Structure 1
Amino acid sequence: MLGGLATAGAGGVALGAHHENDAMGKLIYRAIPSSGEKLPIMGLGSSATFQRIAGSEDVAAVKGVLSTMVELGGTVFDTAPSYGASEQVAGQVAKELDITQKLFWATKLNVAGYGGGKADEKAAREQLERSFQYAGKEVIDLVQIHNMGDLPTQLPILREYKQAGRIRYIGVTTTFQTQYEAFVQMMKDETLDFIGTDYAIDERHAEEMILPVARERGISVLVYAPFGRSRLWSKVRGKAVPEWAKEFDAATWAQFFLKYVASHPDVTAITPATSKPANMADNMRGGMGRLPDAAMRTKMVALIESL
């Protein structure tokens, strides 16, 4: 443990005891509880901005973002069949860059939709097989049921694929507030490797509801929307990053926001989406160097809430 004793932070967990790599330039790694395998804490998501460049078939832009992530030590790439052409284009680009096997490929399954519909088992299997084709991998690292779509039908399919050795890890996601209560109960009832959910300095519900259960149940956490679904950027527009952010090696607002999320010890990896290599590099540095302790996290929240 570095920097003295950890103190309890939001959600009653110990904070400040997870500066795995203090030297700036070294990426922080977190272990997957179900296996002990370690992942770099910063990755790339493919919704939003990335989805747009993939949809426009801007292959050069996709190449720039993916290659930047890998060059700086990142491996986690999160996608989904519902993210337009993201899954297909990223798979094609990864093959061209010869980085397919370097990526921790995380995709999703959901043919039920988000309105509580019933999944067709045949369609679910067909969607999975397309994901294998797009990823260009015989074994996909992680497949999660997207937004809790018909778990009784789709989760057994993922378990079957995992048992057959075609999927390494399985999980369930949600970013819908209306699903949080059922999501937490599902985490208690099911045996999962991963969950994925939204978490940001101005969207802290996960600290109270979700992350404590993930810790108790030994479930890895992928974080989506770490920039608060873009509202954070309007709050800080035209404002300088506070001088005291240097104490945890945050030189930009992106690093400030990402280091808040990364400093929660139950977060395994964060997957912000971007369409620009420069932003990808900035994001990766949010997973390097020192992280804020409990007192600093409180100070960070107070600043954002004052804007």
Structure 2
Amino acid sequence: MTTRRDCLKFSLAAAVAAAFPHGRAFAADASPLLTRAIPSSGEALPLVGLGSSATFAQVARSEDVSALRDVLQALVAGGGSVFDTAPAYGASEEVAGTIARELGLTGRVFWATKLNAVPRGGEKADPAAAREQLETSFRRLGKERLDLVQVHNLADIGTQLPLLQQYKADGRIRYVGVTSTSKPAYPRLIEVMRNEEIDFIGVDYAVDNRDVEETILPLAQERRIGVLVYVPFGRTRLWSRIGDRPLPDWAAEFDAASWAQFMIKYVAAHPAVTCVTPATSKARNMADNLGGGRGRLPDADQRRRMAEFIDALPAAD
């Protein structure tokens, strides 16, 4: 039975050691991590990165963040670079920025953060508060120029997106975008995609959560908008549905050696997807996740089989 805990003995069979200042070494698969081009620029990004909500955020709030050092080391050692965070993720942004500076990794990370200065319960952001939140992100991440900043959850697009676009015009932000992980907000997301000049969107997408395949992903291709995928495991939903079932033998046809890689490869195979950013606070899971961006990706028939397999499982409680 293939489980996430023992996946490394399969996915890292051909490994090399990568040493870092923290004193730990992490296995890095010898096969290259696949890349996708950012549509608006052609810049290539590794297909799998790291998110910092969920367990990453929980550990960032603790006194011992050594596990997060190991995660960031594993990301870079494995050929990844994209780190997705947000001020709303508690201490994640600040802790990650501090760790990266300590390890000399700041310049090797593609920093993607977010902006949402709308007060709780409000509808409008104060422009001064939005600028202060941005400047705080610059300080926390130790960068004079951030790679990507997105308006978090489509909050006050009328105020906050023009601010990001001005920062981009001034050369302080390389790419701008918007995010949403709420299906009721998809119509608004589609409207923004059609009418605003943005480089990226961030959306929820998983093998059992495929609504974005209908309109959002094709529109991203049409409008040349990059796509960051969030929660490819459905947070914990997919793990609950899979339980202790063995990985099907046919997953080897597209080089998936663990359930994490199965789930990541499903969404990564869509041509609109630029980078998949599952969150984790464990280095072994980070290395496993990166395996989802190596080797073969499933074709259209294989993706249909994957979706049918998952759909046939009982829904999580």
Give the TM-score normalised by structure 2: 0.88
Cα distance, 1:57 vs. partner? 3.8
Aligned pairs for 1:55-66 (under 5 A) are 55-66=61-72
> Residues of 2 paired with 1:31 and 1:57: CA distance?
38
Cα distance, 1:228 vs. partner? 1.4
Aligned pairs for 1:151-166 (under 5 A) are 151-166=157-172
Cα distance, 1:24 vs. partner? 7.2
CA 104–163 in structure 1, closer or farther in 2 if over 3 Å, else same = same
Give the TM-score normalised by structure 1: 0.91
| SS, match of residue 228 in structure 1 | coil
The aligned counterpart of 1:100 is 106
The aligned counterpart of 2:48 is 42
Aligned pairs for 1:288-299 (under 5 A) are 288-299=294-305
Give 1:186's match in structure 2, choosing from 189, 192, 211. Answer: 192
Identical aligned pairs, as a percentage? 60
> Residues of 2 paired with 1:44 and 1:305: CA distance?
26
Give 1:229's match in structure 2, choosing from 235, 244, 253. Answer: 235
* 1:125 has 2:139 as partner: no
Cα distance, 1:27 vs. partner? 0.5
Partner deviation per Cα, 1:107-129 (whole Å, 9 max, x = no partner): 00001157561101000000000
Cα distance, 1:29 vs. partner? 0.2
Give 2:153's match in structure 1, choosing from 147, 150, 165. Answer: 147
**What code does the residue aligned with 2:183 have?**
Q
CA 209–112 in structure 1, closer or farther in 2 if over 3 Å, else same = same
Is the 1:24–1:288 contact (alpha carbons within 8 Å) kept by the matching residues of 2?
A: no
Cα distance, 1:59 vs. partner? 2.1
Give 2:279's match in structure 1, choosing from 273, 284, 302. Answer: 273
**What code does the residue aligned with 2:168 have?**
K
Is the 1:113–1:149 contact (alpha carbons within 8 Å) kept by the matching residues of 2?
A: no
* 1:253 has 2:279 as partner: no
* 1:215 has 2:203 as partner: no
Is the 1:24–1:290 contact (alpha carbons within 8 Å) kept by the matching residues of 2?
A: no
Partner deviation per Cα, 1:160-185 (whole Å, 9 max, x = no partner): 11011000000000001110011111
The aligned counterpart of 1:14 is none
Gaps of 5+ in 1: 1-22
**What code does the residue aligned with 1:110 have?**
N
The aligned counterpart of 2:14 is none
The aligned counterpart of 2:85 is 79
> Residues of 1 paired with 2:169 and 2:262: CA distance?
40
* 1:109 has 2:106 as partner: no
Cα distance, 1:32 vs. partner? 0.4
The aligned counterpart of 1:88 is 94
Cα distance, 1:220 vs. partner? 0.2
Structure 1 residue runs of 4 or more that deviate by more than 2 Å after TM superposition: 113-116
Partner deviation per Cα, 1:259-285 (whole Å, 9 max, x = no partner): 001100110001000010000000000
Alignment RMSD: 1.2
> Residues of 2 paired with 1:205 and 1:229: CA distance?
16
CA 115–290 in structure 1, closer or farther in 2 if over 3 Å, else same = farther
Cα distance, 1:209 vs. partner? 2.3
The aligned counterpart of 1:68 is 74
Partner deviation per Cα, 1:3-29 (whole Å, 9 max, x = no partner): xxxxxxxxxxxxxxxxxxxx9721010
CA 115–271 in structure 1, closer or farther in 2 if over 3 Å, else same = farther
| SS, match of residue 213 in structure 2 | helix
**What code does the residue aligned with 1:155 have?**
L
Tell me which moved more, 104-113 or 114-123: 114-123
**What code does the residue aligned with 1:119 have?**
A
The aligned counterpart of 1:5 is none
Give 1:305's match in structure 2, choosing from 288, 302, 311. Answer: 311
Cα distance, 1:186 vs. partner? 1.0
Cα distance, 1:156 vs. partner? 1.0
> Residues of 1 paired with 2:229 and 2:78: CA distance?
19
Q: How many residues align?
A: 285
> Residues of 1 paired with 2:61 and 2:223: CA distance?
37
Cα distance, 1:306 vs. partner? 1.0
> Residues of 2 paired with 1:121 and 1:247: CA distance?
51
CA 114–73 in structure 1, closer or farther in 2 if over 3 Å, else same = farther
| SS, match of residue 122 in structure 1 | helix
